[in-house]
Amino acid sequence: MHAEGQRYLAPAAWVGGSWKSDVVLAVATDGTWSEVVPDAPAAMRRDAQALRGPVLPGLVNGHSHAFQRAIAGLAERSGGSEDGFWHWRDRMYGAANRITSRQLEAIAAFLYSELLRSGYTHVCEFHYLHQDPEGRACADPLELPLALVRAARRAGIGLTLLPALYMRSGFAASRLREDQRRFASTPQSVLHIAHEVAKLGGEVAAGVALHSLRAVDEPALRELVAAVGPRMPVHIHVAEQRREVDDCVARHGLRPVEWLLQQVALDARWNLVHATQCTRFELEAVRNSGASIVLCPSTEANLGDGIFDLPGWMGLSGRWSIGSDSHVTRSWPEELRLLEYSQRLGLRQRNVAGRAALSESCAAALFEGALEGGSAAAGLALGGLAPGQRADFVVLDTASDALAGMPPDHLLDALVFSSPLAAFSEVFVAGRAVPPADPALRADFAGAMAELGT
């Protein structure tokens, strides 16, 4: 049930890109905002439920592999003289090939509760564990997807499930490697999962994903894209690593994004994940198509992917969202901070995002960018405190150390750029307060980790 007719009063709220005072927020029967009124008159404020602090819209986590939460902190030791993305991937496969559906649910539920506590209210789950641990078809093809749906509902977070097409191990390969056996799928199997999950309703939606161009051949790429509905988001890992670019050029004579643009007509449904190796020409073409980019700064840094051309993309008014991917970090302020700091380190400049967006506040430029792109990633109206958008929001704890003594108009700056992290005292999804995390979620997570032997 939604919070029908519920009205909240925020002492301050982030509306339309800036702080507004005495904001009344009214929730419609479908869990969206019906009214958002800054400087609300006394009569309107009188019957509204007073919130304990300033309010920010909830953010979408645009890219998640929930099962990888099981190896966060466990893949940080070098196995030899060389270490990079491809070595990490082999370690990740070790976990992927052991996790059962019950363990996946336990790990995802705990992760999703962490994301909620860190201010995310919706997560886009890029899901490619399709088969059982032996690589055999599950008796129910929805067994693993529904484990993720149950996890999201247990935690209280919104979910866009993105079943991923994964058919081969590389550009020149015809099949998967043995250690990729669980990922096997077809356009038909992916669409079946997406359509069945989309029927569930509530705060659960669905789209589709293509794992990467190296994992999908041309006919399957076109078949899946042709069958996707006009409102379903489409996600793909692309141009993340230099070796991926080199392999694509060797096979097709074109860089990954160049080749993708030749194969299908990108549009506003598309979300290109990482794109760290894109050229300015490619970014311009992606921007002209209306597609978005999903950035995962903590994972991109952890894996040594490279630095995305953020000022170039923002200068094109390109749309982007933020994601936590492998979940070495589960906090959007940390992701935004790292996104900006990577630019500062590379360019030896300050306030890069702010200047690129023509914004005085770097934190505001980053937050607004992530907020706008989140709706595209999720395929839902999740664009902030405005009528028609889902009523997701978080309440800042101004007693947090990072916010102590902050002038009201600098709260967002401190939230993003001051450590230790500030806390959110309450989180709301579709107008409803999310209860405190159930201790059973942590216990189940610990049990799953012990079983996996990680």
Q: Which of 127, 130, 274, 327 is catalytic?
A: 274
Instruction: Report the chain's C-alpha Rg in angstroms.
Output: 21
CA distance 275 to 144: 28
Say if residues 297 and 335 touch (Cβ distance below 8 Å): yes
Nearest to 243 by CA among 261, 258, 256: 256
Query: Is 401 noted as a catalytic residue in this protein?
Result: no
Tell me if residue 325 is catalytic.
Answer: yes
Q: Which of 325, 327, 392, 444 is catalytic?
A: 325
The number of CA neighbours under 13 Å toward the Cβ of 275 is 33
Which sequence positions are flagged as catalytic? 274, 325
